[in-house]
Amino acid sequence: MKKRQFYGIKSTCSAKNKFMDISSRKKMLRSEIEKSFKLFSISISEKYEKSKQLCLRGEHLLPQSGVCAFYAAIDFEPDLSLLAEKALQLRLKILFPRICCKSMHFCTVSNLQQLKPGTFGILAPETPIHHQKIDVFFVPGLAFDASGGRLGRGGGYYDRFLSIFPQAFKVGVCFEQAILPKIPVDRHDITMDAILTESRIIFCSDTKNPSSSDV
């Protein structure tokens, strides 16, 4: 089977970076990916269609009851609005992140109209912070690999927050082009239990799928 490539980025283990430390390799990879976005950006209509397909597939990962954490998409990230709306229809509690004082908190949202422009212009809720159990996290990223490795934007917000909820089922969300052969990770990085794209769901751990649906 031919390996899928992220907008022309073939490998993360080239001779140029294999002797670099993990932090430097991540920084270089982020730079390569950002350059690729500028060269291979998708249209608004294509992003909508791919996001729609991804959300339909993502319904298989929604729990029968409980709490799901989403994100408000920016730039190239898949838009999960349709999946969040589906979760509300299923009477699940949904959360969205809010960044305050260099920390990320998740807040309860009863409808998506409660999201307003916040830090960095990202839509965020102004509702009360949720401190209890979270069952499923849908996590954005620049790129992922099939082992659950994630490349974030470098702020460490998600790694710090996810470490508080080790029992949550963590789903990395990206378009298919953002699946790389290998993401450099260190001991502080939180890996995903599954990766959701518009084409498939990749299960990366033995953690049980929170949904009773067959995938």
- Token readout for 190 is 């939180």
What per-residue confidence (pLDDT) applies to 40? Answer: 64
Model confidence at 154, pLDDT cuts 50, 70, 90, reads confident
18 assigned binding-site residue: no
* pLDDT of residue 2 exceeding 50: no
Model confidence at 129, pLDDT cuts 50, 70, 90, reads confident
Structural domain contains residue 215: no
Instruction: Specify the amino acid at residue 52.
Output: K
160 assigned binding-site residue: no
Q: Which domain holds residue 81?
A: 22-203
Structural domain contains residue 36: yes
Structural domain contains residue 212: no
Q: How many Å apart are CA 69 and CA 96, to the nearest integer? A: 6
Total domains present in the chain: 1
Structural domain contains residue 87: yes
133 assigned binding-site residue: no
Question: Roughly what angle, to the nearest 10 degrees, separates helices 81-89 and 44-58?
Answer: 30
The percentage of the chain sitting over the pLDDT mark of 90, rounded to a whole number, equals: 57
Q: For the whole model, what pTM was predicted?
A: 0.86
Structural domain contains residue 83: yes
What per-residue confidence (pLDDT) applies to 204? Answer: 94
HSE toward the beta carbon, residue 182, CA cutoff 13 A: 11
What are 3-13's pLDDT values in tens digits?
445 555 554 54
Structural domain contains residue 193: yes
User: Is residue 25 a contact partner of residue 17, using CB atoms and an 8 Å limit?
Assistant: yes
Calculate the average pLDDT of the chain.
Answer: 86
Q: What is the CATH number of the domain that holds 84?
A: 3.40.50.10420
153 assigned binding-site residue: yes
Q: How many Å apart are CA 165 and CA 25, to the nearest integer? A: 27
Model confidence at 199, pLDDT cuts 50, 70, 90, reads very high
152 assigned binding-site residue: yes
User: Is residue 50 a contact partner of residue 58, using CB atoms and an 8 Å limit?
Assistant: no
What per-residue confidence (pLDDT) applies to 210? Answer: 76
Structural domain contains residue 31: yes
Q: Which residues of 73-91 are buried (b: 16+ CB within 10 A; e: fewer)?
A: beebbbbbbbbbebbeeee
Model confidence at 197, pLDDT cuts 50, 70, 90, reads very high
155 assigned binding-site residue: yes
User: Is residue 183 a contact partner of residue 145, using CB atoms and an 8 Å limit?
Assistant: yes
Longest CA–CA span in the chain (Å) reads 51
What per-residue confidence (pLDDT) applies to 205? Answer: 81
Q: Mean pLDDT, to the nearest integer, of 60-86?
A: 96
